[in-house]
Amino acid sequence: MKAWMLAACAVTGLLASASAAAQFKNAQDAIDYRQAALTVMGNHFGRIGLMVNNKVPFDAHAVQVNADLVATLAKLPWAGFIDGSDKGDTAAKPEIWSQPDKFRNAALKMQDAVGKLNDAAKTGNQDAIKTAFGAAAESCKNCHDEFKRKH
Ligand code: ASC
C-alpha cells in the first residue's frame, strides 16, 4: 500500500471515531448498536463453527462468505463503547473505560485473529481454517473473560 493511501485510511479512521459519539442518541443507543454488531458477528462466526465442529457439512464457499463478513463486522462494535455507556442494559465491565489500552489491545487481537481466519478461509484448507477458527474463538473468550460480566 502506498504511503498516501495509509495516510488516507488513518484520516478516515480518525473521522469515523470522532463522529462516533455524535452518531448515537444516548448511551443506551450506543449499547444497542455494539450489542447488535456483536450479535450479528457472533452469528456468522457461529456458522463457521458449525462446519469446523462437524455439525453441518464443510462448505469452503460458505466459510469464505462468513469469514469475510466476520472480518468486516469485527470493525464495528468499538464505536459503541462511548463514554458513559458503562451504565445501562449492558454486561460491559467498567474496566473497558478504566483500562482503555488493555481493552483496545484485546479488540485488536480479535480483529487480527479474524483477519487470519479470513486468510485461511480463502485457501479453503480445512486444517488451516480449523486452527484459525480456534484462535479467533480464543480471542473472543479472552476479551469476554476480562471485560464482560457474567450474568
Ligand atoms: C461465538 C460467540 C462468541 C464466541 C465465544 C468463543 O460464536 O458468539 O462469543 O464464539 O463463545 O469462545
| Fold annotation for 25-81+94-147 | Four Helix Bundle (Hemerythrin (Met), subunit A) (1.20.120)
Kindly tell me if the per-residue pLDDT of 112 is higher than 70: yes
Share of the chain above pLDDT 70, in %: 87
Is the minimum distance from the CB of 141 to ligand 1 under 6 angstroms? yes
- pLDDT number for residue 21: 80
Q: How is the chain split into domains, by residue range?
A: 25-81+94-147
d(CA 109, CA 95): 17
Q: Exposure pattern of 100-111 as b/e (b: 16+ CB <10 Å)?
A: eeebeebbebbb
Question: What is the per-residue pLDDT for 17?
Answer: 60
Residue of 35, 38, 43, 45 to mutate, ligand 1, most atoms within 8 A of C-beta? 45
Q: How far is the CA of 82 from the centre of ligand 1 (A)?
A: 23
| Nine cell digits for residue 72 | 468486516
**CB of 134 closer than 6 angstroms to any ligand 1 atom:** no
Give the tens place of pLDDT for each residue, 19-76.
678 899 999 999 999 999 999 999 999 999 999 999 999 999 999 999 999 999 999 9
Q: Torsions phi, psi of 68, nearest 5?
A: -65, -40
* CB 42 less than 6 A from any atom of ligand 1: yes
Distance 140 CA to ligand 1 centre (A): 6
pLDDT higher than 60, residue 1: no
CA-to-CA dists, residue 39 to 6, 32, 125, angstroms? 30, 10, 27
